A and B are shown apart, each in its own frame.
Chain A
């Protein structure tokens, strides 16, 4: 038999670790939505003094790489301090799983983001976040680093796909260097909007493609 994933991915897919919900979790986050495809929820409990993650659980409405990444991320984060856990990258998760197909980066990165968002949620609820900053082109660019280019499995910024970012009165225009009829154009556009729109002072996001 020949499966499209590594043995470790299949193992975590078959028997995902730390599945479920933590009632009254100290921090929690939902990344993605049923409307755009995969979705992941992450719940954490934090040791108040040491700021270590004492318990972590996840739920997934997603494909095999999404489930396996959710599973591995809980194993990687458990027992780590928030600052350590924040730094866990998609690459580390992928390596721990024996490698994920590049084209699946976008489904699996969701779990990594779920963890970061759950930590952020904890920090916000516990007064650990500084004041909200005004969105800059730089902040937009940083968010675009979380959007994967499925052609390479690397992010849009690193693969130089972002041609232009315009920021004006709460509206953002992103120009992507890809023909509009490209097979990935639509899913990329959806993902860009999904990443930029939650910024607190942004009201409208548009995505344009080059010819």
Chain B
């Protein structure tokens, strides 16, 4: 046991950057009024301006207009709103079929399952063994009834980045709306709505050293979507509720702080970890695409051992990572992503996800590899699998 504490679960949530926190502070203590209309009192007008300013920065980052971007409580809400809002608006008029991939994150997957219970048809698209959706296969799945396609920009577990442009073109050709969950790619992988035909985008601050509890949904102008939360007229009358102005300000600040150099550094850590583990620890398999991959994600299966045993040992050495093993999950089910790419229980059982962030260093990468090699060999020594006989 050491007093080292190395956090390698940045896909779950990231540490908030002090500069983000500092930017938010005035909106808790000084300018804490609600955003009033332009005819309100001064503090409310200042709050309104801060909100508008944050919106403008975030919309601009996506290449969108201010009116096309609304704030939500996070990526779960954004994806729920995109899928349920569109189906509520178009389900009666246009058709009752949607398409998602099998490896979507739970907000999309479980929204689709909820719609299925209400009588919608849902196609769950297969991916290849790297987790890629084939745009041609998508084309074949679109019917006259299809109103929405929701395919993630990158996968939360195995990090595979989709051919979002190819998928978007198919949807545009077929006249079907396209939503993408960009929770894990936002600011790390380019996504500009002027270049890529996408109609709805889920993003969030918690993955980029911003605060939790704030996210956003891009909605292309003219997209039919039902009001999501009833109440007041906030967020262009699409999502009622007191605006989270400190959150919005923090979100915009978090985006401002991301640099290309930093993303390259994350990618260098990822590559070093993947290359060294695959070379130095026998019986390991990379999960997800080697090239079309999130810069901050590595996911590796250590065969013949179980993931929770690895994570617990790593934890005792001060490293926090995640696993797709059933034993680690609340539902006692192995990763649906590993199953979705054609992997079996055994592959999910020993899969470990490492996700990097601003506060990680190359020394930590080397340290975790060294500890891992030791842990995996000890666990293999007590495992009945993988021996010669």
Listed in ascending order, the chain A residues whose CB lies under 8 Å from chain B are: 1, 3-5, 10, 13-14, 16, 19-21, 30, 34-41, 59-64, 66-67, 103-104, 106-107, 150, 181, 183-184, 186-187
Task: Choose among B312, B326, B381, B383 the residue that contacts A13 (Cβ–Cβ < 8 A).
Answer: B312
A contact residues around B330 at 8 Å (CB): 183
> With A1-B1, A35-B346, A187-B332 given, is the CB distance from A60 to B383 under 8 Å?
yes
Report whether B325 and A61 are in contact in the complex, using a CB–CB cutoff of 8 Å: no
What are 18 sample pairs from A and B whose C-beta atoms fall under 8 A apart?
Answer: A3-B312, A4-B312, A5-B312, A13-B309, A13-B312, A37-B349, A38-B327, A59-B384, A60-B384, A61-B305, A61-B383, A61-B384, A61-B385, A63-B308, A63-B309, A103-B332, A106-B332, A187-B331
B contact residues around A38 at 8 Å (CB): 306, 327
Q: Which residue of A lies closest to B331 (CB)?
A: A183
Report whether A39 and B333 are in contact in the complex, using a CB–CB cutoff of 8 Å: no
B287-330: which have CB < 8 Å to A? 304-309, 312, 315-316, 325-328, 330
Report whether A184 and B306 are in contact in the complex, using a CB–CB cutoff of 8 Å: no
Rounded to whole angstroms, the CA-CA distance of A5 and B111 in the bound complex is 34
How distant is B326 from chain A, measured CB to nearest CB, in Å? 5
Q: Which residue of A lies closest to B315 (CB)?
A: A3
> With A3-B316, A37-B349, A38-B327 given, is the CB distance from A16 to B306 under 8 Å?
no
Task: Choose among A39, A183, A184 the residue that contacts B385 (Cβ–Cβ < 8 A).
Answer: A39
Q: Which residue of A lies closest to B5 (CB)?
A: A1
Rounded to whole angstroms, the CA-CA distance of A178 and B291 in the bound complex is 43
Total count of chain B residues near the partner, CB < 8 A: 29
B contact residues around A41 at 8 Å (CB): 384
User: Is B334 positioned at the interface, with any CB of A under 8 Å from its CB?
Assistant: yes
> With A1-B1, A30-B384, A39-B384 given, is the CB distance from A64 to B345 under 8 Å?
no
Q: Which residue of B lies closest to A41 (CB)?
A: B384
B contact residues around A21 at 8 Å (CB): 384
Listed in ascending order, the chain B residues whose CB lies under 8 Å from chain A are: 1, 113, 304-309, 312, 315-316, 325-328, 330-334, 344-346, 349, 381-385
Rounded to whole angstroms, the CA-CA distance of A30 and B312 in the bound complex is 24
Q: Which residue of A lies closest to B349 (CB)?
A: A37
A contact residues around B344 at 8 Å (CB): 35
How distant is B340 from chain A, measured CB to nearest CB, in Å? 15
> With A30-B384, A34-B346, A63-B309 given, is the CB distance from A187 to B333 under 8 Å?
yes
* Closest CB pairs A-B (n = 10): A63-B327, A59-B384, A183-B331, A63-B308, A41-B384, A34-B346, A187-B332, A19-B382, A61-B383, A64-B312
Rounded to whole angstroms, the CA-CA distance of A187 and B336 in the bound complex is 13
A contact residues around B305 at 8 Å (CB): 61
Rounded to whole angstroms, the CA-CA distance of A150 and B305 in the bound complex is 23
B contact residues around A183 at 8 Å (CB): 330-333
Report whether A59 and B332 are in contact in the complex, using a CB–CB cutoff of 8 Å: no
> With A3-B316, A19-B382, A67-B382 given, is the CB distance from A62 to B331 under 8 Å?
no
How distant is B320 from chain A, measured CB to nearest CB, in Å? 11
B contact residues around A187 at 8 Å (CB): 326, 331-333
Report whether B309 and A37 are in contact in the complex, using a CB–CB cutoff of 8 Å: no
Rounded to whole angstroms, the CA-CA distance of A150 and B332 in the bound complex is 9
A contact residues around B326 at 8 Å (CB): 37, 187
Q: Which residue of A lies closest to B326 (CB)?
A: A37
